[in-house]
Amino acid sequence: MRGCWLLALVCGAGLARAEGFAFVTESHVAPILVAAGEPEFVRLAAEDLASDVLTITGRRPDVLQGGAVPEGACVTIATRAGGAWESYRVSAAGGRLRIEGGDARGTMFGVYAFIEQVLKVDPLGFWSGRVPAKRAELTWREVALEAGAPSFKYRGWFINDEDLLTEWQESAGRRDIDYPYYGQVVSREAMERVAEALVRCRFNLIIPASFIDIRNPPEAALIDVCARRGVFVSQHHVEPMGVSAFTYFNYWKARGRELKYSYHSHPQEVREVWRAVAERWAAYPNVIWQLGLRGVADRPMWQADANVPQSDAERGRIISEAMADQVRILDEVCPRQPRLLSTTLWAEGSVLNQQGHLKIPEGTIVVFADNSPGWKWQRDFYETPRHPKNTYGVYYHHGLIGSGPHLAQGVPPHKTHELLRAAAERGAGDYAIFNVANVREFVLGIDATAKMTWRLEGYDPDAWLDAWVAERFSLRQPEIANAYRIYFNAYQLHDVQKVPFLLDGQMFGAGGKVLSDMAKKLREGHVGKGADKERSADGDAAAEVQAKAADAFYEGLNDMHPKPLGRRTSVKRVAAQRAGFGLAALHAAAAAARLPAAEAVTLRDNLLYPARFMERTSAWLERLLTAAEALDVGDTAACARELEAAEAAFAELPALAEAYCHGPWKEWYRGCKKLNIAAKLAATRQVAKAAREWVTDSPAL
């Protein structure tokens, strides 16, 4: 562990005796003095402190930059160089409050620790909708906070799968990207809210978006917003050196050339783009460079070029050569800058590295990935030897656009803690980055992750959940905490792989496939012919993985797509999940009815909505699977009845979603194009109508 963590309010908890501080009284508001020479991100933290005091009391402290310490009560913010990494100390003496950091980020985090732990401002308040309680005065008999270096040195967010963020507000600009999502650039206001929440949670790293092309000014602005907050900025694993296939295509299109994206077939052209883009990224002070080689979208490089050799050894050699080239380019582009390198062992990367086919440059942070829904590390995490000249970290999913979780949180804090503890114990505790998708859906998981990556030692997920509930809800706390536990326990785990297999995206995909198959049978008259093959509740993804298991990419995805279950087994498991979410919703609704209005909104958004969303989606899939079984045996009347029930269950989702998208979140689902509720409802209605018409036209069947 990287240091100690001490907190004391009122009692001092073993620290030297702390003294009181009066921030706001009837007669005065203490100013905030930021020491001369502090970086911009420390001043921004001071401004956030002043804004929070204004929200709580209606009176805003002055923020002063440099100069003499004012007479009387005041807050002083200063860095005392030479301390532990990101450490801080907050203390009161002589009627003044001192916030000091062992380095500049530590100073910033000291400010945010005071805001969260003393002012009681939710670091994710913008995303949760939770506002601090109003108070006329802010005074404390004693104040003392102290933290040593955090457990994980680099801790951050990956704003990935951000379909909602891209279209929630008016776009900051267009993206030239041949992809069905992320066609707009996230608005600057939304990105500023993301970056502010990141540092309020005391994270220090961010990948600001998927497929960033830094040559496009609106996309570069996303990096600018984050860099102003003093954090490390990095790159998606599909964009080593900041270059995705889309950036490559745009670069050469602007020069009148259409080239295959292939380091194997066009190495010189790829290196040229790496260099051009690296020169722009090098303008930022804290870059963690992503090394590696991927293809188009989130696929391996050989799927973009059929000429790539077929053996894993040759493919590993090509990727290794690419990483060596990337380091040489950085040697030339930024020779005198402190350099941080990382490579993410995702999908085929995990398999090739485990087989010993990758030569990773010394000094690189090697990042192991989970199995997508945040439930377990891939096999290479446990079996790959650690190299003493590299450091190691992890990449973890709170959210995922395809199989989920995406519109409903899915990973309980105890599972995240289990995996992060394993990371620390197995030498992969230097770096942790979390896919947080669109942020809003995962505020509980993000907050838990913030606490455990800052101080893993002594973290108790059950105690944390109870405290989290107690801080947010003034009544019915045991019932609410129990409702959260029921919610997370409702997710069904696969019998073999022991991972969730009925997450929101998995159910949407499975239901879409069932609808497509039934529509085809009704259209072509293949009623009563039996099933072509047993379908699982997670569709064809698993079958595709099995069929292509010899390919390192699909082998790497194996744990991400649970093996098929028979239809009847699937129906039973979906029904059990439906019942679990129904029970969680029942408890949440009962508690919400007794809470103050603002607290009720928080509970409805964060628990009642996802519970009802998952319950109705489970009911829809359960009925679809039963309808398909009836169709296979020729009972079209039963099929039609089940489809009508499926339609009725799914038809409740638009109203649920509208209630969730209230106030400033009115357009929150405008960009929801992957898990498209309206499209799935239309497809369900269309097949239900076809089944009714079949019964009417063919009464004998």
Residue 313: which pLDDT band, with cuts at 50, 70 and 90?
very high
Q: Are 21 and 143 in contact (CB under 8 A)?
A: yes
For the residues 557-571, what does the mean pLDDT come to?
82
Type of residue numbered 373: P
- pLDDT value at residue 257: 96
Greater pLDDT, 115 or 19: 115
- pLDDT value at residue 116: 98
- pLDDT value at residue 7: 40
- pLDDT value at residue 549: 54
Q: Output phi, psi for 393, to 5 deg.
A: -150, -170
For the residues 509-520, what does the mean pLDDT come to?
96
Residue 441 CA to residue 503 CA, distance in Å, equals: 14
Residue 444 CA to residue 468 CA, distance in Å, equals: 8
- pLDDT value at residue 554: 78
Residue that has been written with the tokens 């790159």 in this structure = 235
Q: Please, what is the average pLDDT of the chain?
A: 92
Q: Are 422 and 145 in contact (CB under 8 A)?
A: no
Is the previous residue joined to 564 through a cis bond, with omega within 30 degrees of 0? no
Give the CATH number of domain 154-457; options: 3.30.70.1140, 1.20.1530.20, 3.20.20.520, 3.10.20.600: 3.20.20.520
Residue 150 CA to residue 153 CA, distance in Å, equals: 6
Minimal CA–CA distance to 20: which of 144, 166, 199, 171? 144
Residue 64 CA to residue 313 CA, distance in Å, equals: 60
Residue 354 clears pLDDT 80, i.e. is over it = yes
Greater pLDDT, 68 or 7: 68
Residue 235 CA to residue 343 CA, distance in Å, equals: 10
Residue 436 CA to residue 195 CA, distance in Å, equals: 13
Residue 579 CA to residue 514 CA, distance in Å, equals: 22
Residue 277 CA to residue 216 CA, distance in Å, equals: 11
Q: Are 223 and 214 in contact (CB under 8 A)?
A: yes
- pLDDT value at residue 56: 98
pTM score, whole prediction: 0.94
Residues 116-148 pLDDT 10s: 999 999 999 999 999 999 999 999 999 999 999
Residue 77 clears pLDDT 70, i.e. is over it = yes
Share of the chain above pLDDT 70, in %: 94
For the residues 74-95, what does the mean pLDDT come to?
96
Residue 124 CA to residue 119 CA, distance in Å, equals: 14
Give the CATH number of domain 5-147; options: 3.40.190.10, 3.40.50.880, 3.30.379.10, 3.30.365.10: 3.30.379.10
Minimal CA–CA distance to 321: which of 297, 301, 339, 351? 301
Residue 178, both tokens: 């041949």
Residue 264 clears pLDDT 90, i.e. is over it = yes
Secondary structure, 3-state, 501-544? CCCHHHHHHHHHHHHHHHHHHHHHCCCCCCCCCCCCCCCCHHHH
Q: Map out the domains of the chain as residue ranges.
A: 5-147, 154-457, 504-697
Share of the chain above pLDDT 90, in %: 85
- pLDDT value at residue 550: 65
Residue that has been written with the tokens 């620790």 in this structure = 113
Q: Are 361 and 342 in contact (CB under 8 A)?
A: no
Question: Could you give the 3-state DSSP secondary structure of residue 432?
Answer: strand
- pLDDT value at residue 548: 55
